[in-house]
Structure 1
Amino acid sequence: MYSNLSEDALLGGRVKLLQPRDGFRAALDPVLLAAFVPARPGDSVLELGCGTGAAFLCLAARVGGLAITAVDRDPALVDIAQRNAGLNLRPAEIRSADARELRHLPPMHHAFANPPYWAGGTPSPIPGRRQAAHEDAPLGEWIQAMARPLRHKGTLSLVLPAARFAEAAAELREAGCGAVRLFPLWPRLGTAAKRILIQARRGGAGPDEVLPGLILHEADGRYTAAAEAVLRDASALT
């Protein structure tokens, strides 16, 4: 299905990524999502809707020794993700399945996703972009699927439009995940956040937090030093 691929680089060249020239292409969201997952060496991690593997590969570039499970319903993207895992020498179990129907996964320390989150508007006429970006299942179903295999106090992390933070927080609590952490992504200083990172812990009972967030761009459009540290140097967002 995806015969015309480009080879691109993320994290300043630490991650090599084959991806369709005419399909959905990784941008900031998976890189920032990976930086927000508080994984440690030896942890087990699960990515749902992995696409070509950008997020789990960025996470693996920052944290060594992870046991990675990744899932996508598109077999052609799973094939590319497997090629990317090999290209980057990052062992991973990558499955083709509907994430919402997954059962019998081993216990996970962390689960994360960049789900299709656009619920309105006109879907892209390009199938790969439409599948990756336009919501065709409720957000709550994604969150339930991510929460099921989590260990007690395991983390669940998402990148979403800022307008959906209240819905996401409610769905996280419904799935048994609390101590919600909200991390705004500001396009520029003094502007409203368009994207957020949101995270909760399985069985978490502590207070919710609104974190300082990250300003992505200077007034002239350049990335801020803090954004460069994440996008080029693989720094964590914590």
Structure 2
Amino acid sequence: MSDDDLSHDAFLGGLLHLWQPRTGYRAGVDPVLLSATIPAVSGQSVLELGCGVGAAILCLGARVSGLQLTGVEREQIYARLAERNGADSLEVVEADIAALPLTLRQRQFDHVLVNPPYWRRSASVAADNRVREAALGEATPLALWITTAAKRLRPRGQLHVIHRAERLPDLLAALPHDMGSIEVLPIAARTGRAAERVILRTIKSGRADFRLHAPLILHRGDSHADGDQYTPQVRAALRAGAMLEF
């Protein structure tokens, strides 16, 4: 793609700028929210499966300095953009998660994050744009995303996944037996609304009880007529790179 086909967009209130296609799949709020929940500390290693242009993992890197960042992306266009966006701070591996290179399968990470495609095409219509469809349509089973991510964690490493709320049973069913200390953060558009997204956190070899947290509310007001004003904690995460506590 030429630069005329791209936009250079601000994230985290301008702390981070990302090149991404003007058409096709474009990073939105979900990867930023996912990155904001990860309690990484300087010196730790982080892997993102399906990193796209690098929105989630680079937002995390902008919030926490000194991280070792690695992203896996199957689509060449997005892999090249992730390399450009990350400059020297992000290692990008162009590969399908179903066939990771041996050099990556021999490594373990403190944190793995996943923002997998949301839509099962058995019950929805595919996007016309091929690359957009690769980002949105579930060609690779969700269970494979979860098991692949879990294998890349070192003991006590943390897995974070964002997905549609109705897929929570599938996420839980896919977790290997050694993944414990499961926490779920529902995300609702407004107070009184049903959750549309969930963020799942789980720890390899964790033993704490399951925790279902109160919903994270995105917008103030009762309806869209009140405007899309973010709640203070969400605004701080989206506009200033603040961490979101579970």
What is the TM-score when the length of structure 1 is the normalising length?
0.94
Residue aligning to 1:196: 198
Tell whether 2:165 aligns with 1:162: yes
Residue aligning to 1:230: 237
Residue aligning to 1:118: 119
Range moving further from structure 2, 98-107 or 147-156: 98-107
The residue identity in structure 1 corresponding to 2:158 is: T
Q: For 2:219, which of 207, 217, 220 is the aligned residue? A: 217
How do 1:177-196 residues align onto structure 2 when only pairs under 5 Å count?
A: 177-196=179-198
Unaligned runs of 5+ in 2: none
Q: Percent of aligned positions with the same letter in both sequences?
A: 40
Residue aligning to 1:5: 6
Alpha-carbon deviation of 1:129?
1.4
The residue identity in structure 2 corresponding to 1:214 is: L
Residue aligning to 1:98: 96
How do 1:42-121 residues align onto structure 2 when only pairs under 5 Å count?
A: 42-86=43-87, 91-102=89-100, 103=102, 104-119=105-120, 120-121=123-124
Q: Describe the shift of the 1:43–1:214 C-alpha distance in structure 2 as closer, same or farther (beyond 3 A).
A: same
- Runs (4+) off by over 4 Å: none
Output the CA distance in 1 between the equivalents of 2:95 and 2:2. Answer: 18
CA contact (8 A) 2:70 2:90 kept: yes
Give CA-to-partner distance per residue, 1:197-235, whole Å, 9 cap, x none. 111111112101112231101121211112101111111
Query: What is the DSSP-based 3-state SS (H/G/I as helix, E as strand, rest coil) of the residue aligned with 1:18?
Result: strand
Alpha-carbon deviation of 1:127?
1.2
What is the TM-score when the length of structure 2 is the normalising length?
0.91
Tell whether 2:167 aligns with 1:143: no
CA RMSD of aligned residues (A): 1.3
Alpha-carbon deviation of 1:175?
5.5
Q: Describe the shift of the 1:105–1:77 C-alpha distance in structure 2 as closer, same or farther (beyond 3 A).
A: farther
Residues paired across the two proteins, number: 234
Query: What is the DSSP-based 3-state SS (H/G/I as helix, E as strand, rest coil) of the residue aligned with 1:115?
Result: coil
Query: What is the DSSP-based 3-state SS (H/G/I as helix, E as strand, rest coil) of the residue aligned with 1:153?
Result: strand
The residue identity in structure 1 corresponding to 2:229 is: R
Query: What is the DSSP-based 3-state SS (H/G/I as helix, E as strand, rest coil) of the residue aligned with 1:65?
Result: coil
Query: What is the DSSP-based 3-state SS (H/G/I as helix, E as strand, rest coil) of the residue aligned with 1:188?
Result: coil
Alpha-carbon deviation of 1:73?
0.5
Alpha-carbon deviation of 1:2?
6.9
The residue identity in structure 2 corresponding to 1:193 is: A
CA contact (8 A) 1:214 1:226 kept: no
The residue identity in structure 2 corresponding to 1:160 is: H
Q: Describe the shift of the 1:2–1:198 C-alpha distance in structure 2 as closer, same or farther (beyond 3 A).
A: farther
Output the CA distance in 1 between the equivalents of 2:8 and 2:135. Answer: 19
Output the CA distance in 2 between the equivalents of 1:169 and 1:15. Answer: 33
Output the CA distance in 2 between the equivalents of 1:179 and 1:121. Answer: 33
Query: What is the DSSP-based 3-state SS (H/G/I as helix, E as strand, rest coil) of the residue aligned with 1:12?
Result: helix
Output the CA distance in 2 between the equivalents of 1:198 and 1:141. Answer: 16
Unaligned runs of 5+ in 1: none
Output the CA distance in 2 between the equivalents of 1:35 and 1:214. Answer: 12
CA contact (8 A) 1:44 1:110 kept: yes
Output the CA distance in 1 between the equivalents of 2:7 and 2:65. Answer: 26
The residue identity in structure 2 corresponding to 1:96 is: E
Q: Describe the shift of the 1:35–1:96 C-alpha distance in structure 2 as closer, same or farther (beyond 3 A).
A: same
Output the CA distance in 2 between the equivalents of 1:95 and 1:169. Answer: 27
